[in-house]
C-alpha cells in the first residue's frame, strides 16, 4: 500500500455528517462501516483514584447502552489488589440492563478471572498481552511468554463455555519503560493471540506515543500474517495523534475502533498514559467522512460524557463535546 501518496490525495472535507460526491470517491478506499468498541466503563474508570460508587458505574453503562452503542466493555475480573477500582466487577456486570444485540465484553487476566466472568454470565471476554516485556511484568506480573501460556489455558476453558474471545496487545507503538518496541514482537504477540482463538485483536497504543508513521509500519508488518478485518485499534490520545492514527488504520481496512466516552482512561501500570481517544470525536470524524458507525445518538453520548465528567470532577477531553457546549451552530450539526 502506498500510504504516503494516499494521504497526499486527501481533500478538504466539509464535515457535515453526510457524504458528498468528493467524500464518496475518497472513502471508497476506506471501510464503509466501522464498529466502535466503547471502553469507558473499564479503561476509563480503572485509573480513577477515588472509588466510583457501583451504582454510578451501573448508571454510566446503562446510559451508554441507551445511546445506541453496539459494544460496551464493562469491567475487568482482575485482582482487586491490583486494581481496587474494579473490585465490584461482578455486581456491576450482573446489575446492568443488557440490551439484546449489544456486546458487553469483560477483561480477564487468568483462569480465576474467567471463572468469575462465567459465573457472572459474561458471553465475551478480552485477554490482554503486551508487546513489551517490562510492561507485561508490571501489568500482569509475568513475562510475555508466561502470559501467552496463561492465556492459552484461559482461551481453552473459555471455548468450552462458548465465549467469544477478544485480544489486546499493549504498547504496540512504545512502552513507558522500554521506549521503542520491536515491530516483530507486535506481530509475534498478535499472531499468538489469533492462534489461541481470538476473533479480533486490538492494537493498543497504551501511552499514546504512536504516530501515523508507526501505525503504517505496524500494519504493514502485520498484513502478510493476519486479516486486517480482524484487527482493531485502541489509541490513547496523550499526544493528540489518536484520530490521525485511526485514519491510518482505516486506510488499511481496519474497521473496529476502541474509544472512550469523554476521552476517559489510562492504565494504572503505564506511567504517563492519559485517556483514550474520545468516542464522540471518533464518531464525529467518521460520520463526517460518510462512514456508517451505527445508530449512535451523538448528542445523547455527549450528555453522558458531560455527566460522567461532572461526577468524576474532571475536564471533558472530547473536543466535539466541548465545542458543542460552546457553539449553537455545531450543535445543529450533531
Ligand atoms: C494477573 C494478576 C492477577 C497477577 O497478579 P499476581 O499477584 O501475580 O497473582 P496471584 O495469582 O499471585 O494472586 C494474587 C492475589 O490476587 C487474587 N487474584 C488473582 N487473580 C484474580 C482475579 N482474576 N480475580 C480476583 N482475584 C484474583 C489471588 O487470589 C490472590 O489473592 P490472595 O490469595 O493474596 O488473597 C494481576 O497482575 C492483575 O490482576 N493484573 C491486571 C492489571 C490490570 O488490570 N491492568 C490494566 C489493564 S489495561 C491494559 O492492560 C491495557 C489495555 C487492555 O487497556 C490496552 C491498552 O491500553 O493498550
Read off the pLDDT of residues 155-209 as tens digits, 9 standing for 90 and up: 999 999 999 999 999 999 999 999 999 999 999 999 999 999 999 999 999 999 9
Confidence of residue 334 (pLDDT cuts 50, 70, 90): low
Q: How far is the CA of 78 from the centre of ligand 1 (A)?
A: 4
Q: How far is the CA of 76 from the centre of ligand 1 (A)?
A: 9
pLDDT of residue 159: 98
Which has more pLDDT, 126 or 28? 126
Q: Nearest residue CA, atom 47 of ligand 1?
A: 267
Please give the average per-residue pLDDT across 130-150, as a whole number: 98
Tell me the domain boundaries of the chain. 32-333
- Of 76, 82, 150, 277, the one to substitute when testing ligand 1's pocket (max ligand atoms within 8 A of C-beta) is 82
Q: Nearest residue CA, atom 28 of ligand 1?
A: 79
Q: Nearest residue CA, atom 43 of ligand 1?
A: 139
Residues with CB under 6 A from ligand 1: 43, 46, 76-79, 81-83, 109-110, 112-113, 116, 128, 139-141, 168, 170, 204, 206, 234, 267, 269
C-alpha cell at 224: 502478510
pLDDT of residue 5: 36
For residue 12, with 0-12 CB atoms within 10 Å meaning exposed, 13-18 middle and 19 or more buried, which class applies? exposed
Q: Nearest residue CA, atom 10 of ligand 1?
A: 79
- Of 79, 214, 237, the one to substitute when testing ligand 1's pocket (max ligand atoms within 8 A of C-beta) is 79
Q: How far is the CA of 66 from the centre of ligand 1 (A)?
A: 31
Whether this model's ipTM surpasses 0.90 comes out as: yes
Query: CB–CB of 67/301 below 8 Å?
Result: yes
Q: How far is the CA of 16 from the centre of ligand 1 (A)?
A: 44
Please give the average per-residue pLDDT across 310-334, as a whole number: 81
Q: Nearest residue CA, atom 7 of ligand 1?
A: 141
Which residues are within 8 A (CB) of 101 and not within 5 positions of it... i.e. 6 or more apart? 70
Confidence of residue 215 (pLDDT cuts 50, 70, 90): very high
Q: How far is the CA of 121 from the centre of ligand 1 (A)?
A: 20
Confidence of residue 25 (pLDDT cuts 50, 70, 90): low
C-alpha cell at 60: 454510566
Q: How far is the CA of 77 from the centre of ligand 1 (A)?
A: 8
Q: Nearest residue CA, atom 25 of ligand 1?
A: 79
* H helical segments located in the chain: 3-8, 21-27, 45-46, 54-66, 89-95, 111-120, 133-140, 144-160, 183-195, 212-222, 242-251, 279-288, 298-312, 319-326, 328-333
CA distance 269 to 271: 6
Query: CB–CB of 313/328 below 8 Å?
Result: no
**Which 8-state DSSP code applies to residue 203?**
E
Domain 32-333 CATH class label: alpha beta
Beta-sheet pairing, 124-130 with 106-107: parallel
CA distance 151 to 136: 13
Lowest-confidence region among 14-23, 137-146, 232-241 = 14-23
CA 223 → CA 173, 234, 254, 284, 328, distances in Å? 16, 18, 11, 28, 44
Q: Nearest residue CA, atom 14 of ligand 1?
A: 79
Q: How far is the CA of 187 from the centre of ligand 1 (A)?
A: 25
C-alpha cell at 97: 440492563
Question: CB under 8 Å, gap of 24 or more: what pairs does 218-222 form?
Answer: 218/172, 218/173, 218/183, 218/186, 219/248, 219/249, 219/252, 219/254, 220/1, 220/3, 221/183, 221/184, 221/186, 221/187, 222/186, 222/187, 222/190
CA-139 nearest atom, ligand 1: 42
CA-113 nearest atom, ligand 1: 23
CA distance 51 to 59: 15
CA 192 → CA 145, 188, 200, 276, 312, distances in Å? 10, 6, 12, 25, 37
This prediction has a pTM of 0.92
What whole-number percentage of the chain has pLDDT above 70? 89
CA distance 193 to 177: 23
Please give the average per-residue pLDDT across 224-229, as a whole number: 97
Please give the average per-residue pLDDT across 106-135, as a whole number: 98
C-alpha cell at 24: 464518496
Q: State the sign of the Cα–Cα–Cα–Cα dihedral 193, 293, 237, 71.
A: negative
Catalytic residue numbers? 267
Ramachandran quadrant class, 220 (left: phi over 0; alpha: psi -120 to 50; beta: rest): alpha
CA-128 nearest atom, ligand 1: 53
Amino acid at each position: 500500500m502506498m500510504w504516503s501518496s494516499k494521504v497526499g490525495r486527501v481533500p478538504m472535507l466539509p464535515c457535515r455528517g453526510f457524504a458528498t460526491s468528493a467524500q464518496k470517491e475518497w472513502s471508497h478506499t476506506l471501510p464503509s462501516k466501522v464498529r466502535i468498541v466503547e471502553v469507558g466503563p473499564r479503561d476509563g474508570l480503572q485509573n480513577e483514584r477515588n472509588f466510583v460508587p457501583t451504582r454510578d458505574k451501573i448508571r454510566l453503562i446503562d446510559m451508554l447502552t441507551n445511546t445506541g452503542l453496539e459494544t460496551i466493555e464493562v469491567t475487568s475480573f482482575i485482582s482487586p489488589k491490583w486494581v481496587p477500582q474494579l473490585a465490584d466487577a461482578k455486581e456491576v456486570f450482573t446489575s446492568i440492563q443488557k440490551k439484546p444485540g449489544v456486546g458487553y465484553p469483560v477483561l480477564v487476566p487468568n483462569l480465576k478471572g474467567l471463572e468469575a466472568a462465567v459465573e457472572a454470565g459474561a458471553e465475551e471476554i478480552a485477554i490482554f498481552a503486551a508487546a513489551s516485556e517490562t510492561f507485561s511484568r508490571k501489568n500482569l506480573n509475568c513475562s510475555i511468554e508466561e502470559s501467552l501460556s496463561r492465556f492459552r489455558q484461559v482461551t481453552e476453558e473459555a471455548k468450552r463455555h462458548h465465549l467469544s474471545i477478544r485480544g489486546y496487545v499493549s504498547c504496540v507503538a512504545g512502552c513507558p519503560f522500554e521506549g521503542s518496541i520491536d515491530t516483530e514482537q507486535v506481530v509475534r504477540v498478535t499472531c499468538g493471540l489469533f492462534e489461541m482463538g481470538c476473533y479480533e485483536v486490538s492494537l493498543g497504543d497504551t501511552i499514546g506515543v504512536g504516530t501515523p508513521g508507526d501505525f503504517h509500519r505496524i500494519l504493514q508488518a502485520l498484513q502478510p500474517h493476519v486479516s486486517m478485518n480482524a484487527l482493531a485499534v485502541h489509541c490513547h490520545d496523550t499526544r493528540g495523534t489518536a484520530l490521525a492514527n485511526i485514519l491510518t488504520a482505516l486506510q488499511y481496512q481496519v474497521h473496529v475502533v476502541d474509544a472512550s466516552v469523554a476521552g476517559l482512561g489510562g492504565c494504572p501500570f503505564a506511567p504517563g498514559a492519559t485517556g483514550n481517544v474520545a468516542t464522540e470525536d471518533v464518531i464525529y470524524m467518521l460520520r463526517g467522512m460518510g462512514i456508517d458507525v451505527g445508530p449512535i445518538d451523538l448528542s445523547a453520548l455527549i450528555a453522558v460524557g458531560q455527566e460522567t465528567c461532572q461526577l468524576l470532577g474532571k475536564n471533558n477531553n472530547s473536543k466535539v463535546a466541548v465545542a458543542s457546549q460552546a457553539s449553537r451552530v455545531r450543535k445543529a450539526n450533531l
